[in-house]
Structure formats: structure tokens, C-alpha cells
Amino acid sequence: MNTGVLDELVSALRCLPSVGPKSAQRMAFHLLQRDRAGADRLARALGDALTRLHNCARCNTFTELEVCERCSSPRRDASQLCVVETPADMLMMEQTHSYSGLYFCLMGRIAPLEGVGPKELRLDRLLERAADPAVREVILATNFTNEGEATAHYLGEMLRARGLAVTRIARGLPVGGELEHTDIGTIAQALSERRPA
């Protein structure tokens, strides 16, 4: 029995996050035995995605067009530019239905211990995007992790130095949150960033 092709499929599936040898084998057998149509669809979808999707020239998220639909929509407010870490973060912002500006997706964050700095993140593309004279405000919506904070800090410095108004999304207790059930880190931070009532 020549299983070179099977081995290759199993080891290829392991490139997915959190897929180990056992899961990869299970997936391979499932696709080959139980769902060959699904396997065919997956193969074609992957191929199409690889050849047709690339980063939007404006917001850096994935699109089939040169500039994605959101970035070219006349209904979006071009004066606001919201910077997020990932496309998933962008989708969350969209689900709020309370933001109508445009986005820039970093596709990562500054991670000093992993050696991810401004060059690896290609921050020059954000600078270029933010230099559009239509942009009046840049909203930093990176995560409230230490890495997200480092990213926001340096983006803020860099954009302010170029004369842009920069804001950071607020943090504190979650909506509907009760002090009694909130972690002390959130409460301490909310206390130190309290505002006039």
C-alpha cells in the first residue's frame, strides 16, 4: 500500500491552528470516506481563496477587489479611520451598528517578545492610509492586552506626530456588569480611568 498521498494530506491538515496528528488523521479519513463532495468543495474553495483573495489596498483586510466594498462605499464616513488587530475584530465593530467610518486592519499587533515590531507589521501602510486628507480622526481599537496597549501607544505617537487627531476606545466595566462579579483588574483600571459624572 502506497500511502504517500495520504500522509501528505494528514501532514498538510496539521498546518491549521490547534490541529495535532490525531485530529489531522481523523479529518483526512472523514473527508475521504464520508464526505468526498465536501472534500472537493474544500479543495476548490481553498484554491479560489488563494488565487483570488488579497489585501484591500485601503483597509488591508481580505477582498477579491483592489479596494473592498466597504472602503469604496459612499455611505461610509471617510473622516473616521478605526484601527483593529484582526478581521474578526472588524466584524465585531460592524455588529455594533454604531460605527459608520472606515477601517484599517493591522493583521497582528506589536509583540516585542516574538520580535514583531513596526517593520514586521508594516506600519508604513497604515501611515500611508492615514495620510489621506479626508481622515479627521483615527480611532485605536486594538485589544486591551499588554501587546494591544503597546501597539496603541506607538500608533498614537506616530499618528499624532503627523498632525492627526487620535482617540482610543474606552475600557471599564462590561455593559450590564456588576462590580461584585467583575475581576479586580478591570475594576482597578476603571477606577484609575474614572471620569467626571
Partner 1 sequence: MTTGKQRVDGQPAFLLQAHPYRETSLVVDVFSRDFGRIGLVARGAKRPRSQLRGVLVEFQPLDLGWFGAGELRTLARAEWQRAWPMLSGPRLLLGYYLNELLQRLMVRDDAHPALFDLYAEAVQKLALAPAETVRHEALLRGFEKALLRELGYGLTLDHDANGDALDPQARYVYKPELGLLEGEGSGDDVSMTGAQALALHEDDYADAQVARLAKTLMRVLIAHYLQGQELRTRRVFIELQDL
Closer residue to partner 1 (CB): 123 or 166: 123
CA-wise closest residue to 87 among 126, 61, 121, 56: 61
Cα 73 from chain centre:
21
Residues that bind partner 1 (CB under 8 A): 17-18, 20, 110, 112-119, 123, 145-146, 149-150, 153-154, 157-158, 183-189, 192
**Strand residues in 141-180 grouped as ranges (E):** 165-168
CA angle (57, 63, 64) in 5-degree steps:
105
CB nearer to partner 1: give 68 or 126: 126
SS3 50: helix
| Of 110 and 135, CB closest to partner 1 | 110
Choose between 115 and 196: whose C-beta lies nearer to partner 1.
115
CB of 154 to partner 1, least distance (A): 5
CB 17 → partner 1: shortest distance, Å? Answer: 7
